[in-house]
Structure 1
Amino acid sequence: MLLEGSCHCGAVTFKVNARHPYPFNRCYCSVCRKTAGGGGYAVNLGADADSLVVCGEEHIRVYHAVIDGATSPAERHFCQHCASCLWLHDPRWPALLHPFASAIDTPLPHPPEHVHLMLAARPDWVEVDAGPRDRCFDGYPDESLADWHQRLGLER
């Protein structure tokens, strides 16, 4: 599925092909909450890194989160003007790109279930709105983005 995205101010637009376009993960870790501004939808779409086409690349900056005292190699790309989170790329998995669902302008398919992860990091004020089919994890689930899409027959 071709995904088209942009930042809030319009300085950056991008296109990328995604085999795993359902926004089903809701992450409650401090990195996702503080860099993406809320209760999830951060790194839950899977796309082909080689298909990325960017306009306005000069407006992009990269953030490397510090996790458990170590700087992560994962690159969180964002607009330097409006701070919109755009995508994450991790050199440990160079073929993958993870667009932030919040930056996607293309209508995304509605997931039949959600995965709530990193609940052990959730502050008390953040409510978990889990549906009857949703799965909840204190840490990371064993199932990957690709496995989740395949199990539900949702690959595009």
Structure 2
Amino acid sequence: MLLEGSCHCHAVRFSVESHEPMPFMRCYCSICRKTAGTGGFAINLGAVNSTLKVVGREHLAVYRATLDDGRRSTGERHFCRLCGTALWLWDPTWPELVHPHAGAVDTPLPEPPSVTHMMLSSKPGWVEAHVKPGDETFDEYPEESLADWHRRHGQAF
């Protein structure tokens, strides 16, 4: 599925092919919440890095988070340096993948049959996790990948 997205000020626009476009996983970790969170969580999608096309690349900046143990994350969080919109994450550990933030995607996204709430141990008290019947919850990272979740739910595009 072709995803098209942009930052809030439209200085950066992108398109990318995604086989995992269903926004099912809500991450409550402090990095996602503070760099891209909405409602106290962020949603990342799975896409093919080689298909990423960017207009306005000169307006991009990259943030690499410091982890709790003091190490720098290998993940590169791309955002618009003009308006601050979080756009996507790329990590050299998995160079073939890119993870657009669902909040930056302008293409209508399919509605997931259930939601996976992850990193709930990092969720602040003021954030309510709207867990519905059929949703899965994890204090840390689930073992199932984005691709595996899509396959298990018959949602691979």
TM-score, normalisation: structure 1: 0.97
Using the alignment, how far apart are the partners of 1:37 and 1:154 within structure 2?
A: 25
Partner of 2:104: 103
| DSSP-derived class of the 1:147 partner | helix
Partner of 2:25: 25
Partner of 2:34: 34
Q: For this pair of structures, how many residues does the alignment match? A: 155
Using the alignment, how far apart are the partners of 1:146 and 1:42 within structure 2?
A: 15
Using the alignment, how far apart are the partners of 1:90 and 1:42 within structure 2?
A: 16
Using the alignment, how far apart are the partners of 1:118 and 1:2 within structure 2?
A: 28
Partner of 1:86: 87
Using the alignment, how far apart are the partners of 1:41 and 1:144 within structure 2?
A: 16
Displacement, 1:59? Answer: 0.1
CA contact (8 A) 1:47 1:98 kept: yes
Where does the alignment leave 5 or more consecutive residues of structure 1 unmatched?
none
| DSSP-derived class of the 1:3 partner | strand
Partner of 1:52: 52
Identity of aligned residues (%): 57
Q: Alpha-carbon deviations, 1:101-142, whole Å to 9, x = none?
A: 000000000000000000011111111101101000000011
Using the alignment, how far apart are the partners of 2:156 and 2:92 within structure 1?
A: 24
Displacement, 1:73? Answer: 1.1
CA contact (8 A) 2:115 2:136 kept: yes
TM-score, normalisation: structure 2: 0.97
Q: CA RMSD in A?
A: 0.7
In the TM superposition, structure 1's runs of 4+ consecutive aligned residues that sit over 6 Å from their partners are none
CA contact (8 A) 2:24 2:43 kept: no
Q: Alpha-carbon deviations, 1:6-49, whole Å to 9, x = none?
A: 00001000000000000001111110110013322332x10000
| DSSP-derived class of the 1:129 partner | coil
| DSSP-derived class of the 2:19 partner | strand
The residue type paired with residue 13 of structure 1 is R
Partner of 1:114: 115
Where does the alignment leave 5 or more consecutive residues of structure 2 unmatched?
none
